[in-house]
């Protein structure tokens, strides 16, 4: 898993769209308006991506034991919001042992 850290409005979503186009991974976001914004941005970029899915739907499908990604790969747009949505509360600390050394920081 790669990590992309950057400030708001710095191109994270565009990078996510590019990676989705390259890999077929489905973008997980927080709301239906975000789904529409991501699809519109992809259209303006001239790339095809799988339709993004809302985080709450991922949780519902996981409970049912259904795989919602086309190929089992996901790109999470705003990881903190995703984790808090899954847990139903505020995350005050998160640790991770990544399976890759790749960290991307947008300037």
- Evaluate the CA torsion angle 22, 24, 34, 43 in order and state its sign: positive
- Overall domain count for the chain: 1
Indicate if the pLDDT at residue 107 is higher than 60: no
Q: What local confidence, expressed as pLDDT, does residue 70 receive?
A: 60
pLDDT at position 49: 96
Phi, psi of 38, rounded to the nearest 5 degrees? -65, -45
> What does the pLDDT look like over 57-95, one tens digit per residue?
877 776 676 655 567 788 999 888 888 888 889 999 888
Q: Domain limits at 26? A: 3-105
Q: Tens of pLDDT along 12-67?
A: 999 999 999 999 999 999 999 999 999 999 999 999 999 999 988 877 776 676 65
């Amino acid at each position: 898993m790669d990590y992309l850290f950057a400030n708001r409005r710095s191109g994270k979503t565009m990078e996510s769209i590019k990676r989705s186009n390259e890999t077929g991974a489905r973008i997980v976001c927080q709301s239906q308006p975000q789904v529409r914004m991501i699809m519109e941005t992809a259209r303006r970029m001239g790339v095809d991506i799988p339709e993004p899915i809302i985080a709450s739907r991922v949780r519902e499908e996981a409970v049912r034991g259904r795989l919602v990604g086309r190929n089992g790969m996901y790109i999470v747009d705003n990881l903190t919001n995703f984790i808090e949505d899954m847990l139903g509360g505020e995350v005050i600390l998160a640790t991770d042992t990544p399976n890759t050394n790749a960290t991307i920081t947008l300037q």
